[in-house]
Amino acid sequence: MKVTEHFEQSKGNTLVSFEILPPLKGGGVQAIFDTLDPLMEFKPPFIDVTYHREEFLYKKRQSGYYEKIAIRKRPGTVGICASIMHRYGIDAIPHLICGGFTKEETENALIDLNFLSINNVLALRGDARPFETKFSPEKDGHEFAIDLVRQMADMNKGIYLDDNIENGQKTDFCIGIAGYPEKHFESPNLETDLIFTKEKVKAGADYIVTQMFFDNEQFKGYLKNCKDFGIDVPIVPGLKPITRRYQLSALPRRFFVDLPSDLVKALEKAKTDEAVREVGIEWCIMQSKELKAMGVPCLHYYTMGDSETIKRIAEAVY
Ligand code: FAD
C-alpha cells in the first residue's frame, strides 16, 4: 500500500514508522530483525531503509604506495526491504539517491523495485562523499532530487528513458522527499529551500519526511511556511533521541540542526552516560507527545540501530 494511503486510512490518528540502516558489509539480516522485532508491537505500517553510496578508502600496498579503492560499506537496501516485507507483511521504503547512479541505472533500479512490488520510494540527492567539497553526480546522473522525482513521475506515466518503448508499463510509485525545518545547509536561505521543495512537489512528490529537529517550534514554523508556499502534501516529522554526550556537537555538525538551550543545559547537567540518555529520551517523548497532539500524520523515528531507546519512547507515546 502507498504511504499516502496509510495516512488516509489512519483517519487522523498519528501513525508511527522507523528508519533503519543496512548492516555493515559482512553483517547478516538478523541484525535488522533484532532491531525491528521489539518495535513491531507499535504496528508501524512502513519501515524506511537508508541507502549508502560507495566511499573511497586509501589502502597501503606492499610497494609503499597507497591505492584508492571504492567500497560500499552498507549495501543491501533493496534486499533488506524485500526481507522486511516478507517477514512482517508491512511496507518497506527504500531510499534511492542520485549520487552514484546514471539515469539508466536509476531506471533499472526502479524497474527492479516495481517487479518486487515495492511501490514507495524516498527520493533523495545524497551527500558529497567525505573527500569531496560538494556533491557531484555521475556523468549522466541526476544533479538534484527533483530530477529523480521527475524520472519516477515519468515512469508512473509509462515514460521510460528509451524512447523506443511504446506503451511502457506504468509504475505506481508513491514518492517521498526530504524536507528541512531548519533549511538544507547548502541553501542560501529558507525561502530558496522552500521554493525548491515546492518544485519537487509539483514534479510529483507525494509526501515529505523531515530532517531531525529538537525544537518543535522549528517544525511548526516549517508547517506554516510550507502552507504559505502552497506545499500541500503530508509532512512527517523525523525524530532522533540524543543518547550520548558527544552528540551535543556531532549532531549539529553532521545534520546542521540547532539544539535548544533547555536541552543543552539539561544534557550538560547530566553526570553519567545513563543520565544523558534519560534526558535525551524524556526530551524526545515530550516532542513526540506534542507533535501527536498536533495531529501529524506519523512520527518517524531514526533508530540508528538502538531499538531499546526507541521502544521506550514509543511505549510512552502510543
Ligand atoms: P535536493 O532536493 O536535491 O536539494 C539539495 C540542495 O540543492 C538544497 O540546498 C536545495 O535547496 C538545492 N536545490 C534543489 N533543487 C535545486 C535546483 N534546481 N537548483 C539549485 N539548487 C537546488 N542521504 C543518503 O545518502 N542516504 C539516505 O538514505 C538518506 N536518507 C535521508 C532521509 C531523510 C528523511 C533526510 C532528511 C535526508 C536523508 N539523506 C540521505 C540525506 C540527503 O541525501 C542530504 O540531505 C542531501 O544533502 C540533500 O538531499 P535532498 O534530497 O534534500 O536534495
277: Cβ below 6 Å to ligand 1?
A: no
pTM, whole model, 2 decimals? 0.96
* Structural domain containing residue 154: 3-317
**Which residues are within 8 A (CB) of 275 and not within 5 positions of it... i.e. 6 or more apart?**
none
Which residue has cell 516532542? Answer: 287
- The predicted model gives 143-147 an average pLDDT of 98
Q: Which residue has the higher pLDDT, 111 or 64?
A: 111
**Kindly report the CA angle at 94 between 234 and 149, in degrees rounded to 5?**
60
What end-to-end distance do the CA atoms of the chain give, in Å? 23
Total domains in the fold of the chain: 1
Which residue has cell 537496501? Answer: 77
Q: Which residue has the higher pLDDT, 54 or 215?
A: 215
Residue 163 pLDDT more than 90? no
Q: What pLDDT shows up at residue 244?
A: 96
Mean pLDDT of the chain: 96
The DSSP call for residue 209 is E
The Å distance, Cα 175 to ligand 1 centre, comes to 14
From the alpha carbon of 126, which atom of ligand 1 is closest? 43
The DSSP call for residue 129 is P
- The predicted model gives 25-41 an average pLDDT of 95
From the alpha carbon of 124, which atom of ligand 1 is closest? 51
Residue 307 pLDDT more than 90? yes
Residue 223 near residue 192 (C-beta atoms within 8 A): no
181: Cβ below 6 Å to ligand 1?
A: no
Residue 62 pLDDT more than 90? no
Kindly report the CATH number assigned to the domain that includes residue 195.
Answer: 3.20.20.220
Among residues 103, 82, 5, the alpha carbon closest in space to that of 45 is found at: 5
The Å distance, Cα 125 to ligand 1 centre, comes to 5
Q: How far apart are CA 219 and CA 226, in angstroms?
A: 10
Q: What pLDDT shows up at residue 296?
A: 98
- Which amino acid is it at 44? P
Q: How far is CA 99 from CA 125, 153, 198, in A?
A: 6, 19, 22
From the alpha carbon of 176, which atom of ligand 1 is closest? 34
Bridge partners of 124, per DSSP, are 97
Q: How far apart are CA 234 and CA 212, in angstroms?
A: 16
- The predicted model gives 259-287 an average pLDDT of 98
The Å distance, Cα 110 to ligand 1 centre, comes to 19
Encode 16-73 in three state secondary structure.
Answer: EEEEECCCCCCCCCHHHHHHHHHHHHHCCCEEEECCCCCEEEEEECCCCCEEEEEECC
Phi-psi region of 206 (alpha: psi -120 to 50; beta: other; left: phi over 0): alpha
Residue 165 pLDDT more than 90? no
Q: Which of 50, 125, 194, 240 to mutate to test the pocket of ligand 1 (most atoms within 8 A of CB)?
A: 125
Count Cβ neighbours within 10 Å for each residue of 117-156 and write b for 16 or more, e otherwise: ebbbbbbbbbeeeeeeeebebeeebbeebbbbbbbbbbbb
- The predicted model gives 117-123 an average pLDDT of 98
The Å distance, Cα 45 to ligand 1 centre, comes to 25
**Which residues are within 8 A (CB) of 182 and not within 5 positions of it... i.e. 6 or more apart?**
211, 213, 218, 256, 257, 258
193: Cβ below 6 Å to ligand 1?
A: yes
Q: What residue's CA is closest to ligand 1, atom 49?
A: 125
Cell matching residue 32: 535488522
Which residue has cell 505506481? Answer: 172
145: Cβ below 6 Å to ligand 1?
A: yes
Residue 61 pLDDT more than 90? no
146: Cβ below 6 Å to ligand 1?
A: yes
From the alpha carbon of 187, which atom of ligand 1 is closest? 9
Q: How far apart are CA 269 and CA 282, in angstroms?
A: 14
95: Cβ below 6 Å to ligand 1?
A: yes
Q: What pLDDT shows up at residue 113?
A: 98
240: Cβ below 6 Å to ligand 1?
A: no
